[in-house]
Amino acid sequence: MTVLVIAEHDGALLKSATLNTISAAAKLGGDIHVLVAGAGCGAAAAAAAQVAGVAKVLLADAAHYQDQGAENLAALVLAQAGAYTHLLLPATSFGKNIAPRVAAKLDVAQISDIVSVEAADTFVRPIYAGNALATVKSSDGVKVITVRSTAFEAAGQGGSAPVEAIAAGPDLGLSRLVGRELTKSARPELAAAKIVVSGGRGMGSAENYSKFLDPIADKLNAALGASRAAVDAGYAPNDYQVGQTGKIVAPQLYLAIGISGAIQHLAGMKDAKVIVAINKDPDAPIFQVADYGLIGDLFQLVPQLTAELG
């Protein structure tokens, strides 16, 4: 049994979700190969080779992989699929863009967003916005799987796998990248942050969101997040959204400020180690999952909390 992990990277470094996916692959028990595709991405391949548990790195370096378009990458994965029993991708926008194309072409059922590996053919995944867990057993010859990164620890260093260059596939020319708008921030990346401070509809405005949450996030060196209601209202940018249709996070500490706790939001953060909720409504659903709750006016409580942090 050999497992192929399709790496998400920025050309130089592996994305953290790839390290979590490698950990999931390790639980399958077979050899782990990592496919790194891009243009001028030798550094990313070298980084993959140093990850513990990786037996081989496949490097496909070509200009038409520069933007990591789903069509070209899916074709490359399909060309390699025959040698593998499992194809694993992170359950990020990168993985979710490629995996369904590969599964459809292989005529197999994709297994999405797994949180546990029970056996080589049996996996656990959340359903109903995370309110239930389904155990799925697959008899497909090649299993196409996306991995929820928050459910697995990141793989460590210590590997010394060989890097093998493979032939690039053709440029299908089905799409091209027109532009990319990237948010640059000195704060930790939301999906990988150890502390997250999130604001909801209760913040009242974009001005209040920044005024009250920036200081506490700065003192905690935390990432900023938001509920969908706050994003839809324009209080925070879309890439701050935490929840079923946003980012899934599992930090050491999650501060939910002015968030009622809709089921879709809870699906994205309820695996946090410690949850602190601040809300004026004592019946807010967020208190059902919170380890600590402060009932009161956030506009008074948040400055007091910030001041106590020194």
Hey, which residues does 157 pair with through a beta bridge? Answer: 51
Domain boundary assignment for the chain: 2-165, 190-308
pLDDT at residue number 176: 84
pLDDT tens figures, 27-55: 999 899 999 999 999 999 999 999 999 99
Task: Judge whether residue 184 has pLDDT over 80.
Answer: no
Task: Judge whether residue 129 has pLDDT over 90.
Answer: no
Options 3.40.50.11260, 3.20.20.70, 3.40.50.700, 3.40.50.1220; CATH of 190-308: 3.40.50.1220
What one-character DSSP code corresponds to residue 79? H
Give the pLDDT band (50/70/90) at residue 182: low
Measured CA to CA, the distance from residue 202 to residue 258 in angstroms comes to 4
Contact between residue 169 and residue 76 where contact means Cβ atoms under 8 Å apart: yes
Give the pLDDT band (50/70/90) at residue 105: very high
pLDDT at residue number 289: 93
Phi, psi (deg, nearest 5) at residue 159: -90, 165
Measured CA to CA, the distance from residue 30 to residue 88 in angstroms comes to 13
| Sequence-distant (≥ 6) Cβ neighbours of residue 59 within 8 angstroms | 36, 37, 41, 42, 45, 163, 164, 165, 166
Task: Judge whether residue 288 has pLDDT over 80.
Answer: yes
Give the pLDDT band (50/70/90) at residue 102: very high
Nearest-5° Cα angle at 22, 17 to 23 = 95
Burial grade of 175 (CB within 10 A; 0-12, 13-18, 19 or more): exposed
CATH class of 2-165: alpha beta
Percent of the chain surpassing pLDDT 90: 81
The mean per-residue pLDDT over the stretch 286-293 comes to 95
Task: Judge whether residue 191 has pLDDT over 90.
Answer: no
Contact between residue 98 and residue 77 where contact means Cβ atoms under 8 Å apart: yes
DSSP 169-210: -----S-----------SSPPGGG-SEEEEE-GGG-SHHHHH
Measured CA to CA, the distance from residue 297 to residue 225 in angstroms comes to 20
Q: Are 2-165 and 190-308 equal in CATH topology?
A: yes
Percent of the chain surpassing pLDDT 70: 99
pLDDT tens figures, 53-95: 999 999 999 999 998 899 999 999 999 999 999 999 999 999 9
The mean per-residue pLDDT over the stretch 197-210 comes to 96
Contact between residue 259 and residue 268 where contact means Cβ atoms under 8 Å apart: no
Strand order in the sheet with 86-90: 111-114, 143-147, 86-90, 2-6, 31-38, 54-61, 163-165
The mean per-residue pLDDT over the stretch 144-166 comes to 93
Phi, psi (deg, nearest 5) at residue 146: -110, 145
pLDDT at residue number 244: 87
pLDDT at residue number 173: 85
In 3-state terms, what secondary structure has residue 113? Answer: strand
Residue closest to 88 by CA, chosen among 133, 41, 148: 148
What one-character DSSP code corresponds to residue 250? -
The mean per-residue pLDDT over the stretch 112-124 comes to 96
What one-character DSSP code corresponds to residue 262? -
Computed from CA positions of residues 300, 301, 306, 309, in that sequence, does the dihedral angle turn out positive or negative?
positive
- pTM recorded for the entire structure: 0.83
pLDDT at residue number 281: 95
The mean per-residue pLDDT over the stretch 93-101 comes to 95
Measured CA to CA, the distance from residue 302 to residue 62 in angstroms comes to 51
Measured CA to CA, the distance from residue 176 to residue 164 in angstroms comes to 28
